[in-house]
Structure 1
Amino acid sequence: MEAFKQESLRDALYLSTPARSKGPALDVCLAKNASEVLEAQKLRFNIFSEEYGAMLGTNGIDHDVFDAYCDHLIVRNTDTGEVVGTYRILAPENAARLKCWYSETEFFMNRIERLRASTVEVGRSCVHPDYRSGGAIMLLWSGIAQYMKLGGYKHLIGCASVSLRDGGHQAASLYKQLEPYMAEAKSQVFPKNRLPIERLRCDVGIEPPPLVKGYLRLGAKVCGEPAWDPDFNTADFLMLLSIDQMSERYARHFGFV
């Protein structure tokens, strides 16, 4: 039954944006085979190694054990065929097979254990630099929303990452900015390898990254202090979005109301 549900999601999820005079035509769907997953993994490698300085080996592919259990959302330029955006999605049924979320490698998450059966985890988000001001990011969010609707899921968790190339001062300053968006105590998590915020500057000017902005616009909450990921050289903020707490504007846009 679970396998049938996942195959149905892959068949049903397809969205596109028509060609515009100032931008390319894009579509978003779930990867249907190993070749399409590989395209997403290559894009991830390029973005994470170049922008974050992540240590990902030399084979040009970003992959881990979670990939085989995830659905891979891909945005493609329909004119060139190039994959320009990706997000991977771990459905609760597959998280149960793994016996964990990816986020549990970075956080103690006992307080949101109660949400596990209805929570989708997303991660490894990246968009080609040339497409960050266009429709690619919105298509990814639309794809995730449709995935949740089709699957009947109620919650979403995912990490938003900030580079630590400046020593962590920007990440600490962003954490300070995000205090008004903190989740209530019963939904907070605790980093296993915390960023030492108390030893960092918290007054550095930083514009929240597009992914963080996207989460906040939707109505997501920040679940606590960021975790320090030494492999990716990032500070990772765990975000929680509950469909019943989604901003009215986007709930209507994505068809939840």
Structure 2
Amino acid sequence: MIQLAKGRYVAREATCASDIERVQQLRGLAFMRPGGVDADQFDEICDHIMIEDHETGHLVCCFRFLPLPNGREIGRSYSAQYYELAGLQSFAGRMVEMGRFCSHPDWVDPDILRVAWGAMTAYVDAQKVELLFGCASFAGTDAEEYYDAFAMLSERHLAPRRWLPQIKAPKVFRFADKLRRKPDAKKAMLRMPPLLRTYLMMGGWVSDHAVVDGQMNTLHVFTGVEISAIPPARKRLLRAVAG
């Protein structure tokens, strides 16, 4: 059971139906879902992490984990709806999918993301995970806004060929094929989602295309982080927060 306190925030696993309802309501607010609630069939099989302000009890951030024993189970994941993941079926180690990451729009505090990554690290260590993966989302569906970011992903961060996700979704932006430009590094990092920036700092890699998700109003790329490849200095920082 994950429980972590840092500064004014507490990270813990959801333990009851009312916790899940609060998570779904925050997701509904963050993702602007009709009716104010975001829920799907994966909620029942995932572990949900909540980050709360310990003084007020306000839920300020949440995300969920789907643990898998190995790559043979990857077809059960949320990501498998959008990406052909046959290459990862041969991954022998334990895996976990992290998804539905969101923060309350009224709470802008970098410590929230730090606590979130501390909770992620504690979970990964407890589960002996070897691959962390998920969908990293860009807001909106206009790929042109993110050309420098996508060009940087293409130039520096594509998945190893053996793990590279293939196209499955009906509408995608094939940035690795279409963008042959030198990225403006400053513009690229400014347009890169914070969660994806953190994945990349840990040695993460991405698919060669982005899925155009009209329902969620996002462009998202499959993202993987092999735990053994995380730079030692970054591991120490993460474990310091997790501890």
- For Structure 1 versus Structure 2, the TM-score category normalised by the shorter chain is 0.7 to 0.9
1:68 counterpart letter in structure 2: E
Q: 1:116 to 1:229 in 2, by over 3 A?
A: farther
The two structures, once aligned, show a CA RMSD in angstroms of 2.6
Tell me which amino acid in the other structure corresponds to 2:59.
V
CA distance in 2 between counterparts of 1:144 and 1:32 reads 17
CA distances 1:114-150 after superposition (whole Å, capped 9, x unpaired): 2265110000011123434331111111111111111
CA positional deviation for 1:223: 2.8
Code of the residue aligned with 1:114 in structure 2: it is S
TM-score, normalised to structure 1, is 0.81
- Give the drift of 1:225: 1.3
1:170 matched to 2:145? The reply is: yes
- Within 5 Å, give how 1:54-203 maps onto structure 2: 56-58=33-35, 60-93=36-69, 100-115=76-91, 118-164=94-140, 167-179=142-154, 180-193=156-169, 194-195=172-173, 197=175
Aligned position for 1:224:
208
TM-fit CA distance, 1:151: 1.1
Counterpart-to-counterpart distance in 2, 1:94 and 1:70: 16
- Hey, what's the Cα distance between the residues in 1 that align with 2:231 and 2:71? 27
Q: In structure 2, what is the equivalent of residue 32 of structure 1? A: 15
- One-letter identity of the residue aligned with 1:39: R
Equivalent position SS for 2:159: coil
**Pairwise CA distance, 1:175:** 1.3
- Identity among equivalent positions (%) equals 24
Deviation at 1:164, TM superposition (A): 2.3
Q: Residue 5 of structure 2: SS of its match in structure 1?
A: strand
Paired AA for residue 213 in structure 1: R
Distance 1:97 1:216 in 2: 25
- For residues 56-104 of structure 1, the C-alpha deviation after alignment (integer angstroms, 9 at most, x for no partner) is 332x110100000000011001111110001110011599889511100
Question: SS of the counterpart of 1:66?
Answer: helix
Q: After TM superposition, give the deviation of residue 221 of structure 1 in Å.
A: 1.2
Cα gap change, 1:36 to 1:88, in 2 (>3 Å) = same
The alignment status of 1:241 with 2:219, answered yes or no, reads: no
On the 8 A contact 1:187/1:223 being kept in 2, the answer is no
Q: Any idea what SS the aligned residue of 2:91 has?
A: helix
In 2, Cα distance between equivalents of 1:130 and 1:210: 17
| Count of aligned positions | 231
> With structure 2 as the length reference, what TM-score do the two structures score?
0.85
Is it true that 1:17 corresponds to 2:6 in the alignment? yes
Structure 1 residues 215 and 201, CA gap change in structure 2 (3 angstroms): same
Counterpart code for 1:234: T
Q: Secondary structure at the match of 1:120?
A: strand
Q: Decide whether the 8 Å contact of 1:173 with 1:201 is kept in 2.
A: no
Q: Which runs of 5+ in 2 are unaligned?
A: none
